[in-house]
């Protein structure tokens, strides 16, 4: 077993969970349903009562907010690590 790889994977999973928990409910729901639950886009459109084009816009915005929050998390982690080294 590669313990370093396992640790990195667990750290990434924890970072993703943390970032998801900080997102607005709608963003979190869209990302979780599509990427974690692997829901069909048509199914999600029905759940949200939106058409496919608007779901595309909502998904784009949710991904953008996720990436921004993840970058902040990584920057904070790097800052903490630099203090320790």
The count of domains in the chain is 1
Q: How far apart are CA 77 and CA 42, in angstroms?
A: 37
pLDDT tens figures, 13-31: 888 889 999 999 999 999 9
State the residue range of the domain holding 42.
3-84
Global pTM?
0.77
Q: Can you give the CATH number for the domain in which 32 is found?
A: 1.10.10.10
Q: What is the pLDDT of residues 29-63, one digit of tens each?
A: 999 999 999 999 999 999 999 999 999 999 999 99
DSSP per-residue string spanning the chain: --HHHHHHHHHHHHHHHHHHHHS-HHHHHHHIIIIIS---HHHHHHHHT--HHHHHHHHHHHHHHHHHHHHHHHHHHHHHHHHH-
């Amino acid at each position: 077993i590669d313990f370093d790889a396992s640790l990195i994977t667990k750290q990434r999973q924890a970072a993703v969970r943390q970032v998801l928990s900080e997102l607005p409910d709608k963003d979190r729901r869209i990302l979780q349903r599509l990427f974690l639950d692997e829901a069909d886009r048509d199914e999600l459109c029905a759940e949200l009562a939106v058409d496919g084009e608007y779901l595309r816009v909502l998904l784009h915005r949710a991904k953008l907010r996720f990436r921004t929050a993840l970058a902040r998390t990584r920057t904070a982690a790097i800052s903490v690590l630099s203090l320790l080294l």
